[in-house]
Amino acid sequence: MDQLWKADLGDGNYKNPILFADYSDPDVIRVKDTYYMTASSFNYVPGLPILTSKDLVNWKLANYALDKINYDKYDMPQHAKGVWAPAIRYHNDRYYIYYGMPDEGIFMVSTGDALGKWDEPVLVLEGKGLIDPCPFWDDDGKAYIIHGYAKSRIGFKSYLGIFPMSFDGTKAIGEDHILFDGVETQHTIEGPKVYKRNGYYYILAPAGGVKKGWQTALRSKNIYGPYEEKIVMKQGNTPINGPHQGGLVDTVNGDEWFIHFQDRGLYGRIVHLQPVVWENDWPVVGINAIDGCGEPCEVYKKPNTGIVEEITSLEASDDFSTGSDGGSLNLMWQWLGNPKENFYSLTERVNFLRLYALNTSGKAEPILWESSNVLTQKLVCPYFKATVSMHMTHLSENEQAGMVIMGGHYAYLAVRVIDGKKTVIYAMAYNDGDGIKEKVTSLKELNEDDEKIYMTFVMESGGNGPEFKVYYNLEGGEEINVPTSFMPSDHTWVGAKIGLFANVAEETEKGGYADFEYIHVTAI
């Protein structure tokens, strides 16, 4: 597989971001010699990705902690809802992830093996607007959750809350109340991560907003406060805007590092790594510190973890070669909502992904925005060429299949059967005030014996930033450019994604399908 983004420079240094991919709200722990990272997944399923590394620079996507979201409404896409900022911890030989769902409450999943099966979620505290939970087990046998509040659900923000929980981590055992008021000095404070060091309780939390904010540290001798506050990292003279929410972690030799995200618009929230030192019992995050406040580094010496990792990057290409015994989809894929077994097959045609043309929305005029059976993956480098090979002979009237770039708005290239003719179409989504609609343009009627089509999306560097281009060609035919004014974008807290789909453009399903031979993604 091509390496699309390499943070490891191969000379003992690394460059930021360490992951040019939308792993929003990352948190990280070390267990022995292995680092484990998780991140928000919102309405995308499976959720709570687990990434691993031995050196904090070279990461692999290794698992998910959440197979689906256990509420029926998530059988349809619930954009901007679902699994928000998690915290991962290792306690009493067990891995825990706590996460907030802003409409439902605070949940926990746990396991004895981070790369194995995780237990079913436990609802720790029900309630709207409770987000960004971080557990803390104190050395006196007491345990707590410190968290943020979502103004969109509860009516206020810029506060952190706390409640006691049972020591087994499964339920709240006391009332939630305000722990820290950041309205005047740390507006929009959120995403707290809790640590204890030298007799102080520390809360590392971003404030100031995602695009232009900073990283704050709070400290107190009592977990209930009052807390002193200090800004410990901000953008400074760097191009790294809003160095934001993340987690603190150490190496086997005692060095400390901070992983955080940066909002990059259409690419989502990409992941950076900063060195940490301590001065006067305050953390200093990043480099070029002034008065104990650092700024993000762009290139820095790699952490000394005692292990030399092979240089690696996240995968985006897939040839669906699982073999006749089946298997699962590769880990880069997430559905737009809770999946069902009838969405796809890897066994009906060996070494192909078969997507069935379904109407998962149940609506008379289905659109992709409301269809959970859209298979997506993150963008993992800034400029790329993504080509899909699709076999289309088993599509019936009004069924379609193709390739989409999904985000705050979206566009897709597909083959749809119109009046009995396989037809190449291009669609762009728009909002007319009554909701999202799709404007479909017919491009070319195909011959009856045309079996395979190649579809290509290109993101390349232009004079004023990225430019998006669309192409297709038939077997043995020339590549045709599809003129488009479309530009991918993020949606609330999620970056743009490439997707594959098959659906029906009417209420009644017909039983057709498309076979995807591969998706090849290369950096340009």
CA 314 – CA 33 distance, rounded (Å): 21
Tell me how far CA of residue 339 lies from CA of 70, 203, 354, 460, 493, in angstroms: 12, 37, 14, 32, 22
Measured at the alpha carbon of residue 398, what is the angle toward residues 510 and 422, in degrees to the nearest 5?
Answer: 115
What end-to-end distance do the CA atoms of the chain give, in Å? 15
Determine the Cα–Cα distance for residues 230 and 404; give it in Å rounded to an integer: 44
Give catalytic residues, as residue numbers.
Answer: 25, 190
Task: Give Cβ neighbours of residue 242 (< 8 Å, ≥ 6 apart).
Answer: 206, 208, 209, 210, 211, 212, 213, 214, 235, 262, 263
Strand order in the sheet with 34-38: 27-31, 34-38, 47-53, 60-66
Rounded CA-CA distance 211/240 in Å is: 10
| Burial (Cβ within 10 Å: 0-12, 13-18, ≥19) of residue 349 | middle
CB neighbours of residue 299 within 10 Å: 10
CA distance 42 to 27: 15
Strands (E), 383-420: 384-391, 399-406, 411-418
